[in-house]
Chain A
Amino acid sequence: MIENNLLAIIIFAPLVGAVINWLVGGRLRNEMFSGVVACGSIAISCIVAFYIAFVADGGALFIDKPVLSHIWTWIDVGGFRADFALGMDRLSGIYVCFITFVGLFIHIFATGYMHGDSGFYRFFSYLNLFMFAMLVLVLADNYLLMFVGWEGVGLCSYLLIGYYTNQDEPRRAAKKAFVMNRIGDWGVLMGIFLIFTLTGSISFYDKSVDGVQVHSVFTWVLENISVAEPFTWGAIIGGGLTSIGVLLFIGATGKSAQIPLLTWLPDAMAGPTPVSALIHAATMVTAGVYLVVRSNAIYQLSPTAMWIIAVIGAATAIFAATIAIAQNDIKKVLAYSTVSQLGFMFLAAGVGAFVVAIFHVMTHAFFKALLFLGSGSVIHGMHHEQDMRKMGNLKKYMPITFITMATGWLAIAGIPIFSGFFSKDEILYKTFAADKYFQGGYFPGNEVLWVVAVITAILTAIYMTRMMIMTFWGKERFHDPLPGEEHHDDDGHDDDDHHHALPHDFKPHESPWVMTVPLIVLAFLSTVGGLIGIPYAMSSLPVVSSIVGKEANHFEHILEPVIAEVETPTAIKARENAASHSPEAVSTERWLALLSTVLAVVGIGIGFALFRNSPLRQMPKILEEKWRLDELYNGWIVDPLTRLSTNTLWKGFDVGFIDGIVNGIGGSITEASSYMRGIQTGFIRSYAAMIILGALCVLGYFVYYGIRLIG
C-alpha cells in the first residue's frame, strides 16, 4: 500500500482558498488579492497533482497500485465504513491533472472576465469551493466520499448558476439544476446501498485502515462473480449488478445532462461564462462518465446496463445536436453541444470503450473549455451581448479570440490532427465494431447507433460552423434590431441597460492578456492534446509510425489497468480482439477514419453553404424551442404534482378530512367555550381550565374502564 499524505493538499488548497476569499476577501474587496488567492490555491493543487501523478513514488500514472491517503474515518456504523480517504490511481490521476490544469487557466481567465463585478471575491470563493468538491469527487477512495464531492459540485453549481442573484433567470436555472441533479442523486444513493448489500464494501481499493482490512468493491466483484448477468430487461430489477449499473447511471444522467434529465444544463448558462467553461463543460458534467468508468468492473458484467447507457448516450447526442443547430445565443449553442458530446462519451462507455470515453472527456475538456472561454471573450468584447444575431465580422476586432476559437471549432468538428478527431473517431469505430469489442459479446443495434453517431458528427460540424460564421464572419450586425422584437429573448437581463442598445460608436475590442493567454494555452492543447492517444490503426500507418512510433496510444496504455479484467468468455474475447490488431480490423478502422474526416469536411462545407451568405437563416421553430421538452415536463409532471399537493392533499385531506374529524370531536369543547370570547382578561386561563376539566373527566373514565378491562 503506497501512502502519500500530499494528496490532501490537492483538495484542501482550494478549500483554504475559498475560506480566505470568503472571510478576508470579503473585507478587503481587492480584486488583486482575491484573484491571487484563488489562482494561487489552484496552482498549488495543480503542481502537487502533477508531482504525485508523474514523479512521487514512481508516478501514480505509471505504477499499478493506487496512492492512498487516509485522513479520518467519517462513518463507521455496524460494518458500514466510509472513510474520508483519498486515492489516486491512473484514472483519478488523469482526471485530477486535467481538472487542475484546465481549472487553473479558467481561473486566470475569470480574473479578467469578472473584472469590475461587485461580487468578485464571492465568485472566486465559490469557484475554489467547486474545485475542492470536484477534486474530492475524483480523488475519493470510496463511493460515499465520491458522493460527497458529487453533491458538493451540485451545490457549487447551484451557487454559481445563481451567481447574479438579483436576476430572475439565474435563480430559476439554479434551482432547476439542483433539483434535476438531485433526482439523479437518488439513483446514486440507491446504487451505493445495493453495492454495499452485495459486496459488503463501498471502497474502490483494497486497503487496511487502523488494522482493519477493507476490501475493494471491484476485487470482490471479480473474485465472486464470474458470469455476466443475462441480457434481459428483467435484469434491471433483479437486484444484481445490472440494477447497480442502472441506478448509478440514473445519477450520471442527472450530473451529465443526459436524457431525460438534460434540460438543466442549457439553462445553467445563466451563470457567468467561466463557470460554464469550468463546471458545465470541462469538469463537473463529465463526473457521470467518471462514475461509469470507475465502476467498469460492475458494468462489464451487466450488458443490459451497458446497452442502456449506449442507447441513451446516442439518443442524447443527436437530440441535443438538432437543438444546437437552431440556437441564437452563443452559449446555448455550446451548451447543447456539450450535452451532445457527453452523449458521445456515454456511447463510448456503453459499447465498452471505457478508455475512449475518458479520452474524449479529456479532449473535450480542452476544446470545450476553449470554446466557452472564447465565447466569454466574445461576450466580454461585445459588452455582454450573447445573441449571435447581433454579432458578425468579429474576426476583424478580435483576432486572437477568432484564431483560438477556430482551433476549437476544428477540434470538435473532427478534423485530423486536432484533438477531437482522435477521440471521436475512436468512438465511432468502437460503436461500429461493438460486436467485436463489447464485453458482453453480442450488442444488438450497434449499426443503428453508429449511424446516429455519424449523423450527429455531421450535425456537430454544421452547428459549429454556423456559430463561427454568425460570430466571426459576415457583416457587422451590432446595431441591427432583432427580427420581430426589440427585446433580447432573455428577459432576465433586463436590468443590464447596456445590454440592449449598444452605443452608436460601439466597437468590439480584443480581451486583455489574462483572458487571451488561457485561450492560447487551451488552443494549443486542443490542437495537439489528442496526439497522446493516436489509435493503433493510424499510428501503424507507415508515414505516421516513422514519426511517433507504432505504439503511440500512450493514453490507452496508461488507462488499460483501470479496466477490470473480467473473466467471462465474451470479455476475454473482446480483450483479445482489442489486443490483436487484426489486419481487417485495422483496415476497417482506417476506412472509417477516412470516412469521418470526409464527413467533418462535408459538415463544415454544408455549414458554409447554408449560412455563409445568410447567417440569419430561419431555423425550424420546433428546434429553436428545444423540442418543447420543458413545456412537456411542466405540463405533465410539475403542474399536476402541484395541483395534487394543493387541492387533494393539503386542502382536501389535511384541512378537509383529518381536521374535519378532529374539529368534529373538539367541536363541543370549542362551542362551549366560544361564548367566552368577549372576555379579554383571564380568558385563556378559564378556557384552559375547561379543557383540562373535560380532559380529566375523560381520563377518569378511561382509567376506570382500563382497570376493569384488565382486572
Chain B
Amino acid sequence: MDLISENLLTILILLPAFGGLAVLGHSLYWKDDGHLKWITLGFTVAAFLISLLLLSGTPGSNGYMFEKNIPWIQAIGTNYHVGVDGLSLWLVLLTTFIMPIAVLSSWHAVEKRPAAFYVFLLLLQSAMIGVFVSLDLLVFYLFFEASLVPMFFLIGIWGGENRIYATVKFFIFTAFGSLLMLVAIIALYYLHLQATGTGTFDLLTLLASLESGKLAFAAPVGTLLFLAFAISFAIKVPVFPFHTWLPDAHTEAPTAGSVILAAVLLKMGTYGLMRFNFPLFPEASRELAPIFIVLAIIGIIYGALVAMVQPDMKRLVAYSSVAHMGFVVLGMFSFTEWGMQGALYQMLNHGISTGALFLLVGFIYERRHTRAITEYGGISSVMPLYATFFVFTTMSSIGLPFLNGFVGEFLIMVGMWKSTILSITDSANWNYIATMFAGTGVIFAAVYLLWMVQRIFFGKLTNEKNRGLKDLTYREIGLMVPLLFLMVYMGVYPKPFLERSRDTVVAIQERVMRQAGGTVDHDEHTAKAE
C-alpha cells in the first residue's frame, strides 16, 4: 500500500498510458478489435478507483498531498514535481470519473480504427491528469501541450463532416495560446536566474522567491507575463472573444470527445488561472481583473443569446458552455472566498452537467444521425425515459436549487456582489452592477435550454422518422445514473467538496488580496455582524 500511496500521482498519470500500450499491443498481436473497449474500460475504471485514494490524503506543511519531487533535467533545473491540493484534487477526480463514462459512451460508435481511438483516449487521460498535478511549469507545459494532440486526432479522425475546419481552428487557437505561455515560462526561468542565480521552473520555488522578495517583477513585466499566461488559459476556457473554436470543435467531435472537452479540457484554462496566474502575479491579477470580469459577463450574456438561436443541439450546448464558463471566470476574478470557491465548484458542476448534456445529445445522434432541433419534436412520447433524463440534466444546467449548478452559480454571484476588486472609485457600486448583469445569464439559461427541450420533446410527434425511436438502453441508463446522482448530491450537500478545497482557495485569495492591503471579506463581515 505504501508504494501505491507514495507514488499515487505517478501511477495515475502512467496507468492510462500503459493502458494505451496494452490496447496497442493487443490490437497488433491478436488483430481483434472486439476486446479493446473492454481493456480501455478496465484501465479507466481502475484509474478511477485508485484515484479515490486521493481522498485519504492529508495535506503536508505546504498544503500539498502525495507530493513527489524528483530531479528530471538538471541542466535546466526542471524537476518532475507533482502534488495535489484542494484546487486540483476534485479536478483529478472529475477526470478519472468522467473517463469510464466517455469510454462507455462510444461503445458502439467507433467503427473506424478503434485501436487508435482508444489509445488516444487513454493518452489524453494521462495528459489531463498530468496537467492537474504538475507543480513544475515546464512539466505542466508539456502535459498541457500533450493533451492537445490526442484531442486533435479524436476530432480530426472520428469527427463529423466539417472536422478538418474544426481541428484547424482548434489548433490555431490553442497553439497560439500555448506559445505565449511557453515564452512566459521561459521568461520566468530567466528572471529567477537573474534575481537569485539559479533558474527554476518550480512553481513552489518561484512562489517562495516572490514571497521573500528575492524575485520581483518590474512594472510592465509582471503584467505582460500575466497576460501571456492568461491569454493562453482564456483561449482554453474559452473567454469571450476567444470562444469561436469551441462550438466548431464540440460540434464536430465524437461524443466521447465532446464530453471530455466540456468536462475536463476547458477546466484546464480556469485551473491554470487559479494555479499560476493568481499566485504568481497577484498585482497584475488585481489590476486586470476588471477586464476579465467584463469579458466574463459579456461571455455569459453573449453565449446565452447565441445559444438561443442555434439550430444544432450540440452547438447550442457548446455556446451554453461559453456562458457557464463565463460564470467560473467571473467568480475567480471576484477574489472573494465565495466567488473562488463557487468558481471551483462550478468547474465540477459544469463538467458533470454539460458532460451529461453532450452524452444525451450523443444518444439521440446515434439513433437518428442528426442534431438539427427541427428534425425532432414530441419524442417524449416514444422516449419517455430519455426525456426525463434530459429535462433533469437541463434543470441542473439551468441552476435549479438543490441541483449542483445552483450552489456554484449562487456562490459566484455572492462573491461578485461582495467583491471589492471593482472599487475603482468610492461612489459607484460596480460590483453590484456586474452581478446584476451576470445574473441575467440565469434567466437566459432557462430560455435557451427549455426552448430546446420544448422543441425536441414536447408537442405532437410530427416527424415520421422519429416514430420508431427506441428508448435508452441499459448501458445508456447506467452511464447517466452516476451523473444524475452527483447532480443531486452536489446540489444538496456541497459541504464535503467545499471543505476540502477551502484552505487552498483561501490561501490563493489571501495572497492576491493581501498585497492590495485589502481586508479579507468574511473577517470584516463577522466583525460587522457582532
Contact = CB atoms under 8 A, between A and B. Distances in A.
A387 B454 CA distance: 27
A710 B172 contact: no
A239 to B, nearest CB: 6
Contact of A155 (B191, B395, B413, B522): B395
Contact of B443 (A162, A186, A196, A642): A186
Contact of B168 (A76, A77, A670): A670
A702 B182 contact: yes
A688 B168 contact: no
Most A Cβ at <10 Å: residue of B183, B241, B342, B495: B183
Interface in A208-247: 215, 239
Contact of B182 (A144, A655, A699): A699
Interface stretch (B4-12, B15-23, B433-441, B480-488): B433-441
B80 interface: no
B24 interface: no
A382 to B, nearest CB: 24
Interface in B59-76: none
A404 interface: no
A155 B492 CA distance: 17
A367 interface: no
A706 B338 contact: no
B521 A78 contact: yes
Contact of B309 (A190, A642, A702, A705): A642
Interface in A83-138: 84
Interface in B437-489: 439-440, 442-443, 446-447, 450-451, 454, 457-461
Interface stretch (A166-174, A352-360, A368-376, A584-592): A166-174
B381 interface: yes
B190 A710 contact: yes
B130 interface: no
Given A75-B407, A239-B432, A709-B187, A186 B179 contact: no
B173 A495 contact: no
Contacts of B243: 654
Interface centre among A75, A77, A670, A699 (most CB of B within 10 A): A77
B458 A166 contact: yes
B407 A200 contact: no
Given A148-B402, A666-B168, A200 B308 contact: no
Interface stretch (B39-47, B150-158, B356-364): B150-158
A641 interface: yes
B409 to A, nearest CB: 9
Given A650-B306, A691-B168, A702-B179, A80 B414 contact: yes
Contact of B460 (A166, A200, A201, A703): A166
A167 B526 contact: no
A636 interface: no
Given A72-B493, A78-B336, A666-B169, A178 B439 contact: no
B140 interface: no
Contact of A186 (B306, B439, B451, B459): B439
Contacts of B378: 165-166
Contact of A703 (B183, B308, B442, B458): B183
B357 to A, nearest CB: 18
Interface in A165-201: 165-168, 170-172, 174-175, 178-179, 182-183, 185-186, 189-190, 193-194, 196-197, 200-201
Interface stretch (A309-317, A532-540, A657-665): A657-665
B447 A179 contact: yes
B442 A185 contact: yes
Contact of A166 (B402, B461, B495): B461
B288 interface: no
A165 B458 contact: yes
A179 B443 contact: yes
A75 B490 CA distance: 11
Contact of A669 (B168, B244, B458, B498): B168
B401 interface: yes
A609 to B, nearest CB: 44
Interface residues of A, number: 77
Main secondary structure of the interface of A (DSSP, over half): helix
B493 to A, nearest CB: 7
Contacts of B451: 175
A565 B168 CA distance: 68
B338 A80 contact: yes
A707 interface: yes
Contacts of A170: 458
A166 B450 contact: no
B338 A182 contact: no
B518 to A, nearest CB: 15
Nearest to A243: B432
Interface string B183-197: 100110011000000
Nearest to B494: A75
B381 A197 contact: no
A158 B191 CA distance: 59
A688 B442 contact: no
A72 B171 CA distance: 47
Nearest to B175: A695
A545 interface: no
Contacts of B522: 78-79
A193 B417 contact: yes
A222 to B, nearest CB: 15
Given A691-B171, A703-B186, A178 B460 contact: no
A147 B414 CA distance: 15
A79 B526 contact: yes
B529 interface: yes
A710 B395 contact: no
Contacts of B443: 179, 182-183, 185-186
A74 interface: yes
B487 to A, nearest CB: 14
A658 B247 CA distance: 13
Given A165-B380, A182-B443, A201-B529, A710 B169 contact: no
B108 interface: no
A193 B183 CA distance: 42
Given A79-B522, A152-B401, A189-B410, A707 B458 contact: no
Given A166-B459, A186-B440, A662 B186 contact: no
B172 A666 contact: yes
B190 A196 contact: no
Interface in B231-277: 241, 243-245, 247
B283 to A, nearest CB: 19
B392 to A, nearest CB: 10
B460 A658 contact: no
5 contacts: A77-B411, A186-B442, A189-B442, A642-B309, A703-B183
Interface of B: 152-153, 156-157, 164, 168-169, 171-173, 175, 179-180, 182-183, 186-187, 190-191, 241, 243-245, 247, 302, 305-306, 308-310, 336-338, 341-342, 378, 380-381, 395, 400-402, 406-407, 410-411, 413-414, 417-418, 429, 432, 435-436, 439-440, 442-443, 446-447, 450-451, 454, 457-461, 492-495, 498, 502, 521-522, 525-526, 528-529
